[in-house]
Structure 1
Amino acid sequence: MRFGVFLAPFHPVGQNPTLALERDLDLIVHLDKLGFDEAWIGEHHSAGFEIIASPEVFIAVAAERTRHIRLGTGVSSLPYHHPLMLADRMVLLDHLTRGRVMLGVGPGSLPSDAHMMGIDISAQRRMMSESLDAIMALLAGDAPVTMKTDWFTLNDARLQLRPYSRPGLEVAVAATVSPAGPQAAGRHGAGLLSIGATQTKGFDLLGETWKTMEAAAGGPVDRGTWRLVGPMHLAETREQAKRDVDFGLARWIDYFKNVAALPLAPDTDDTAEMADAMNANGFAVIGTPDDAIAQIERLQEKSGGFGSYLIMAHDWADTAETRRSYELFARSVAPHFQGSVTALTGSRDWASANRESFIGEANAAIMAAFQKKD
């Protein structure tokens, strides 16, 4: 299993936005050093909290500061872009990063963004589907693309650069509880980003989500291309985790209750009660690495299997505690699912089981050396 982060990001209003963006970049560097596999960067244009307007620009900067972590748009809102321009930018990034970028796509999550651009909110999923048809054809490069819709035109369009990645630029489609995402992913052979995986309704629908994707694909789909997203904050104890999130959980909840939309937002002003409610309904993990392991195992059971788990990034805790949370995840949670400590444990157990024999042989060798000296 692979692990990563889904970075919208979520920064409460009232703070220095330049420093907030710098913390986001520092977080990606931190994750790269910890061995996280990937990071997905959001696109938003209003409402104050989610302040990255261009994931491609952010990725270009982050790529220069990191070595291994893969970087995806999480997501590029397709109705906001001409498909040729977006495909061109992503292929350029693919070359500049030597294949470390991924294209995540969606219809756009904030109605206020669409309103400012004069986009009919009811048309966004249809527009996403049309744009994705065009982008996938452009990336394939089999023939020039001619296509006309009520919002974009392509005349004999083709990309000058072929994708650097082989077999091609990885594409993933965002999904919440709507079937539009898995249908589009299945139809195009793309991966799936289940952003609402841990919402109660999303949790219950995970199995149906995959059935929808396979139906659209016309057969079995590689579950390794499925990424599930959910929020976590970890500490050495549950009590410490709850104390940590007293820093910013309430402001995050307030954003979703009064600006965006989070149906599971607890109806309380007490941070500890918020944490308890989110743990109880399975939406989040505010606890220990063992709690995180249990959550991912539950997702495996409910979904039938998936390839990657992405932690939804947030400012619930201050910077030091946030970084510590990711370190605890990398140290204790990821190895549980990746089997990276199996050989070490086996080697230790083998050495322990044979310790008496090995020490006896070593002592005998020492005694023989003394006797030889005499």
Structure 2
Amino acid sequence: MRNGIFLAPFHALDQDPTEALHRDLELIEHLDRLGYEEAWIGEHHSAGFEIIASPELFIAAAAERTRRIRLGTGVVSLPYHNPLMTANRIIQLDHMTRGRVMFGVGPGLLPSDAMMLGIDPMTQRDRMMEGLAVILRLFRGEVVTEQSDWFNLVNARTHLLPYTRPHPEMAVASAVSPSGGRAAGKYGFGMLCVAATAADGFDALATNWQIACQIAQEDGRTMDRNGLRLVGPVHIAPTREQARANVQWGLHKWLEYFARLNPLSPRTPEGMDPIDAMIATGQAVIGTPDDAIAQIHRLQAKQGHFGAFLQLAHNWASFDHTIKSYALWAEHVAPVFKHANASRQASYDWTMSNANEFIGKAMMAAGAMIQRHADEQAAKAAAS
């Protein structure tokens, strides 16, 4: 299982936005050093918290600061952009990163973004599929002439072909509705299950994956579970008490943002601590590395194998405690699901289960050597 993050990001309104963006870049640098494999960067245009408007710009900067970590758009909201412009930006990034970019797509999540652009939310999912079909043709080097009610292309072509052939790895955002699963199945793309640990998203995991598999099967293809990525919030510390104390720094601002953004979203039961509620429902891990391991096992029991777990970046804790949480994951959680210590454990178990026999033989060998030396010395003394 690969490890990564999904960086919307979420920055409270009392933080300096310039510093927040630079801390996001610093975070990606830390993750690269810690061995994380992926980081997905969001696109949003309203509501003040999720302040990265261009994931492509952020990825270009992050790529210059890192060496190994792969960087994905999480996601480009296709109905907001002319397909030719989107294709050209991703192809340029593919060359600039020498193949480290991944292309995540979606219809657009925040209704307020669509409202500012005069886009009817009822049209967004259909427009995503329209734009996606054109982008794939452009990736293949086709010359496209096509007009719809929201874009017009005349003899359009990209002047570069992708660095990665036939194109960068692609993934579709999936939450509760079946649109993500339908698109993933149609084209064989990966899925970014952005609400995998929330109640509705968790319930929809198997359904949406099954939809993708059925549609892929109709086209004679099989979905690859390595392209399935589950997203959920995590904050871990050496003790549960420390983790709970750490998230008091910013969790309430995050909760207020979502409560006001979606007044219809479920509320914490009256009189219940929000942290207790999030832990009890499995919405979040706020605890120790062992609690994080238990969450992954829970998701595997629901979904089966999946290729990557992406921690939802949230700024519940101070930056120092946040970095420590990611480091604890890399040190104690990631090795469990990479089976990094399987051979070491087998060697340890074999050695310890045979320790009495092996030590006995070693002691006999040492005793024999002592006796041999004594015999040699005695023989020399007798000869003299």
- TM-score, normalised relative to structure 1: 0.93
Q: Which amino acid aligns with 1:223?
A: R
- The percentage of counterpart residues that share the same residue type is 54
Q: CA contact under 8 A between 1:136 and 1:188: conserved in structure 2?
A: no
Aligned partners of 2:312, 2:264: CA distance in 1, in Å? 14
Q: Which residue of 2 aligns with 1:99?
A: 99
Aligned partners of 1:55, 1:318: CA distance in 2, in Å? 24
Quote the offset at 1:366 in angstroms: 8.2
Moved over 6 A (4+): 368-374
Q: Which residue of 1 aligns with 2:324?
A: 324
User: How has the CA–CA distance of structure 1 residues 288 and 367 changed in structure 2, closer, same or farther, with 3 Å as cutoff?
Assistant: same
User: How has the CA–CA distance of structure 1 residues 52 and 362 changed in structure 2, closer, same or farther, with 3 Å as cutoff?
Assistant: farther
Quote the offset at 1:297 in angstroms: 1.2
Cα distance per residue 1:5-37 (max 9 Å; x no partner): 000000100211111111111110111111111
Q: CA contact under 8 A between 1:250 and 1:269: conserved in structure 2?
A: no
Which of the pair has more CA radius of gyration? 2
Q: Which residue of 1 aligns with 2:237?
A: 235
Task: Tell me the SS of whatever aligns to 1:150.
Answer: coil
Q: Which residue of 1 aligns with 2:147?
A: 148
User: How has the CA–CA distance of structure 1 residues 362 and 32 changed in structure 2, closer, same or farther, with 3 Å as cutoff?
Assistant: farther
Aligned partners of 1:35, 1:230: CA distance in 2, in Å? 19
Q: CA contact under 8 A between 1:256 and 1:262: conserved in structure 2?
A: no
Query: Is there any run of 5+ residues in structure 1 with no aligned partner, and where?
Result: none
Task: Tell me the SS of whatever aligns to 1:40.
Answer: strand
Cα distance per residue 1:196-230 (max 9 Å; x no partner): 11111221221111111122222531111111111
Aligned partners of 2:34, 2:369: CA distance in 1, in Å? 42
Q: Which residue of 1 aligns with 2:69?
A: 69
Q: Which residue of 2 aligns with 1:339?
A: 339
Cα distance per residue 1:282-320 (max 9 Å; x no partner): 111111111111111111111132111100001101111
Query: Is there any run of 5+ residues in structure 2 with no aligned partner, and where?
Result: none
User: How has the CA–CA distance of structure 1 residues 211 and 119 changed in structure 2, closer, same or farther, with 3 Å as cutoff?
Assistant: same
Task: Tell me the SS of whatever aligns to 1:109.
Answer: coil
Quote the offset at 1:46 in angstroms: 1.1
Task: Tell me the SS of whatever aligns to 1:133.
Answer: helix
Task: Tell me the SS of whatever aligns to 1:221.
Answer: coil
User: How has the CA–CA distance of structure 1 residues 27 and 262 changed in structure 2, closer, same or farther, with 3 Å as cutoff?
Assistant: farther
Q: Which amino acid aligns with 2:100?
A: R
Quote the offset at 1:160 in angstroms: 1.8
Q: Which residue of 1 aligns with 2:258?
A: 256
Q: CA contact under 8 A between 2:180 and 2:208: conserved in structure 1?
A: no
Q: Which residue of 1 aligns with 2:189?
A: 190
How large is the RMSD of aligned CA atoms in angstroms? 2.2
Aligned partners of 2:310, 2:80: CA distance in 1, in Å? 25
Aligned partners of 1:194, 1:338: CA distance in 2, in Å? 21
Residues 343-354 of structure 1: matches in 2 within 5 Å? 343-352=343-352, 353-354=354-355
Q: CA contact under 8 A between 2:140 and 2:166: conserved in structure 1?
A: no
Aligned partners of 2:70, 2:98: CA distance in 1, in Å? 10
Aligned partners of 1:184, 1:38: CA distance in 2, in Å? 22
Q: CA contact under 8 A between 1:268 and 1:274: conserved in structure 2?
A: no
Q: Which amino acid aligns with 1:114?
A: A
Aligned partners of 1:361, 1:12: CA distance in 2, in Å? 69
Q: Which moved more, 1:156-165 or 1:11-20?
A: 156-165
Q: Which moved more, 1:252-261 or 1:123-132?
A: 252-261
Q: Do structure 1's residue 356 and structure 2's residue 355 form an aligned pair? A: no
Q: CA contact under 8 A between 1:43 and 1:53: conserved in structure 2?
A: yes
User: How has the CA–CA distance of structure 1 residues 361 and 64 changed in structure 2, closer, same or farther, with 3 Å as cutoff?
Assistant: farther
Aligned partners of 1:362, 1:138: CA distance in 2, in Å? 73
Aligned partners of 1:255, 1:16: CA distance in 2, in Å? 17
Q: Which amino acid aligns with 1:239?
A: E
Q: Which residue of 2 aligns with 1:215?
A: 214
Task: Tell me the SS of whatever aligns to 2:14.
Answer: coil
